[in-house]
Amino acid sequence: MMGNIVKEKLFINGKWVETDTTHKIYNKYTGELFSEVCVADERLVDQAVEAAVYAHKNTLFLPEHRYTVLMRTAELLLESSEEFAKIIAQEGGKPITDAKVEVNRSISTLKIAADETKKLVGEIIPNYNVPGRFMYTVKKPVGVVAAITPFNFPLNLVVHKVAPALAAGNPVIIKPASDTATTAIKLCKLLEKAGVPNGYVQCVVGSGSTVGEQLLRDERIAHYTFTGSPAVGKHIRKTIGLRKATLELGSNSATIVHSDANVGKAAMRLAKMSFSHAGQICISVQRIFVQESIQEKFLEKFLKEVSLLKVGDPLDPDTDVGPMINENEAKRIEQWVREAKEGGAEILIGGTREGNIFHPTVITNVRKGMKVLDEEVFAPVVTVSAYRTIEEAIELVNDSKYGLQAGIYTSDLNLSYKIPYLLEVGGVIINDTCCYRVDQMPYGGVKESGNGKEGPSYAIQDLVETVTVVVNLED
């Protein structure tokens, strides 16, 4: 098997660098060796930062060139979309149908970011009270960007960090999740082919405790964009001081099903989005709150839809739920579910594990203090609880240390208008689940879900410096 495995190299300063130390990536369903990626040492990380700094200071990367690179990368990704989808399915365990969606979204994100290169303009500042002065602003790149990306969207979340950074004219250093690093390396090959200048894209693989820490300590890096756990996000914030960061952290996102909702449509959609990518999505549906008068009807339809989900091989186009990222994570959620059951919760369906596959699980009779309710499960587990009034539902949604997104099913227009002001979240999805995102929208949360926004046009706002220019016309 080893003889068929290509060793994927690191991308540093426009060159492909091979190292003796490698990280083995396994097919998440079969357990077979899928790829082997080189691992960066301290010297190579320093070289990557040095190359990025040099490029920022010495290499002209004009907006029209940025546009061309991003659009060409999108074209190349479209040409190799099937290859990328298969890679994501194998090294990430994502069902192939969902992997294809991720690739298509990444193509769209690249194009959206390309269009943003045309909008990086300043403004003339009106001068009402200071004669003899002309004032305006210009936008310039913030500097070197470190992009630390997770395993669950190994292509699109890399693109969401790399594309806005390049659109704004910043060099970017990618540190992908080691277990899905093949995808990020393949993306770098497309960027290289598209003509990105040397030093403007680097890819270094390694653990957070080594490569990640070195990047955090390096004061030559101006901005960090990170998707991951609140604990690591807090560590980043503490380490980097006044330097900028965009942090997309944890969540236990909720969806409300109100008494006036279309119960059938809500149940069908919630069954799909509660378990998409085995629940390993930041805005995955974790908490469902149903008005008590329709709870029985909802559960009947919801459980039926959940029972129809196919669990198995991600490469099978009929598969709805694939494996989790590794067996340790599957064992973790197995323990959390067991603890909830021992505490009085009821498992309505699922609750079983086979290796790193955890079957779709619905739990009721949960209460505060249970991890499946309070913490981010990041697994195919959802809780269902009843409420009496909409005020109670809002209170239940807000009773969380997280605040990324929430959804509500209702036909009440007045409620639809008011509820975004009442929910403590970064996004409110009306008549759909909390697990909804399109790539042009602003995306980010409050509380321990992080700060800053993704979505190319919104991310770019933090990736440029606004410089105020004042011209004295009297001399």
Chain segment 257-281, per-residue pLDDT in tens: 999 999 999 999 999 999 999 999 9
- Residue 334, pLDDT > 90, answer yes
Give the pLDDT score at 1. Answer: 38
User: Who's near 307: CB < 8 A, 6+ residues apart?
Assistant: 349
Planar angle of CA 108, 112, 118, nearest 5 degrees: 155
Q: What percent of the chain has pLDDT over 70?
A: 99
HSE at residue 248, side-chain half, CA atoms within 13 A, is 23
Domains in the chain, ordered, with CATH? 2-249 (3.40.605.10), 254-447 (3.40.309.10)
pLDDT in tens, 434-456: 999 999 999 999 999 999 999 99
Q: How far is CA 16 from CA 7, 198, 328, 355, in A?
A: 11, 11, 33, 36
- Beta bridge partners, 357, equal 354
* Burial (Cβ within 10 Å: 0-12, 13-18, ≥19) of residue 420: middle
| Residue-level pLDDT at 5 | 83
Query: Position of tokens 């498992």?
Result: 347
SS3 assignment, position 26: strand
What is the model's pLDDT at position 377? 98
Quickly state the pLDDT bin for 130 (edges 50, 70, 90): confident
Average pLDDT over residues 296-312: 98
User: In whole numbers, what is the pLDDT of the chain averaged over residues?
Assistant: 97
In this prediction, residue 128 carries a pLDDT of 86
If we measure between CA atoms, which residue out of 95, 101, 93, 91 comes closest to residue 182?
Answer: 91
Q: What is the pLDDT of residue 65?
A: 98
Q: What is the pLDDT of residues 376-432, one digit of tens each?
A: 999 999 999 999 999 999 999 999 999 999 999 999 999 999 999 999 999 999 999
| Distance, CA of 91 to CA of 469 (rounded, Å) | 49
pLDDT, mean of residues 189-215: 97
Average pLDDT for 103-109:
98
Residue closest to 111 by CA, chosen among 153, 160, 172: 160
Pick from 300, 258, 273: nearest CA to 382: 273
Which pLDDT score is estimated for 143?
98
What confidence score (pLDDT) does residue 3 get? 47
CA distances from 438 to 75, 128, 430 (A): 20, 41, 14
Per-residue pLDDT, averaged over 343-348, amounts to: 98
> pLDDT over 90 for what percent of the chain?
97
pLDDT given for residue 353 in this prediction = 98
Average pLDDT estimate for 65-82: 98
Residues with Cβ < 8 Å from 63, sequence gap 6 or more? 117, 118, 120, 169
CA-CA distance, 261 to 390, in Å (whole number)? 13
Q: Would you say residue 100 has pLDDT above 50?
A: yes
Q: What does DSSP assign to residue 117? A: G
Among candidate residues 135, 122, 72, the one with its CA nearest the CA of residue 464: 122
Other CB atoms closer than 10 Å to residue 472's CB: what's the count? Answer: 8
DSSP secondary structure string, 288-333?
EEEEGGGHHHHHHHHHHHHHT--BS-TTSTT-SB---S-HHHHHHH
Tell me the mean pLDDT in the region 8-24.
97
Question: Any idea which residues carry the catalytic annotation?
Answer: 248, 282
Confidence of residue 2 (pLDDT cuts 50, 70, 90): very low
Flag whether pLDDT at 11 surpasses 50: yes
